[in-house]
Amino acid sequence: MLRPAAWASAPWTTGPWTPANWGAGARLVSSSITLGMDPVFGRLGSLEVRLATTKKELKQAQRLRFQVFYDEMSAIPNASSLIARRDMDEFDAICDHLLVLDHNAPRRPFRAAAPKVVGTYRLLRQEVADRNFGFYTAAEFEILKLTESNPHLRFLELGRSCVLKPYRNKRTVELLWQGIWSYVVQHRIDVMFGCASLEGTDPNRLALPLSFLHHHALSPEEWRVRALPERFVTMDRIPSAAVDAKAALHSLPPLIKGYLRLGASFGEGAVVDPQFGTTDVLVMLPVPSINPRYISHFGQSANRRAA
């Protein structure tokens, strides 16, 4: 189950607000590594959360993504990914890659001992996206309408999240969120967003979870992002009164349930992704909307690193 990194003394106002009245601050324009920031965000036992700093570490993250998305799930690799057995695209070169590494992973025969990448998240800051070719999410949702209408806010896209099966537990996921929160504090991010997926490409078979998100977790108007018109799939498939909330929550993937617990809301309309065999929804998480119950777990460490 996803659990968020949270903070002890948030530097943002948490009272009533809208995108239009939230003040701006200094913006960082270089990558985290070239800015000289510490890439290591925390450690718990043998597990460490950090940013990838080498091409080798990036390739390890891509191999993990291939193993989860293509071997374990139903994604269809293109020729280059299939040959390399790595999930990779053009966005990898401009993103920061958050890793969870196990320093006590079993050593492979005839290989030197080395930590193993067991979890990853891909992070794309708005200023980096703007200097290159935009956000990955923009191929499915009208995210640019929101970012362009709020130039005083700093947006962060989260994506390509996966954890190796034996490590899908509270400890690993909390480390990922500790890393995300440290990154948010370092770069003074205002809003996080990204695609989350329901397994399957038939929206009618996903009518219950899609309708639940539409009726009970739709983003407020100022944050509402629609799916692109040519890819729009309605989420309002069952009347609100007919939605069994308990059954709907049970049907949601752990990632989406975790975002809900954080305080996230969801965009209008879904998108079918035939390559990955999923139906995608847009997650919107402004920092002040994060559930206050999670405000003390990792924040002191994160804020010290950002100082």
Report d(CA 14, CA 154) in Å as an integer.
16
- Which pLDDT belongs to residue 110? 65
The CA distance from 210 to 269, in Å, is: 9
pLDDT recorded at residue 174: 86
Q: How far apart are CA 150 and CA 20, in angstroms?
A: 7
Residue 108: what pLDDT?
A: 72
Residue 307 and residue 303: Cα distance in Å, rounded? Answer: 6
pLDDT of residue 1: 29
How far apart CA 284 and CA 259 sit, in angstroms, is 9
What does the pLDDT read at residue 25?
A: 34
| Partners of 116 in the β-ladder | 102
Distance CA 116, CA 108 (A): 10
Please report which helix (H) or strand (E) contains residue 44, including its range: strand 40-44
CA distance from start to end of the chain? 30
286 token code pair: 């402004």
Q: In the prediction, which pLDDT does 37 show?
A: 72
Name the residue type at position 25.
G
Burial class, 216, CB count within 10 angstroms (exposed 0-12 / middle 13-18 / buried 19+): middle
Radius of gyration of the chain (CA): 19
Euclidean distance between CA atoms 120 and 141, whole angstroms: 23
Mean pLDDT per 10-residue interval, the chain, length 307 residues: 30 36 34 67 92 95 96 92 96 97 81 85 97 97 96 97 92 89 93 96 97 98 97 98 96 92 95 96 94 62 47
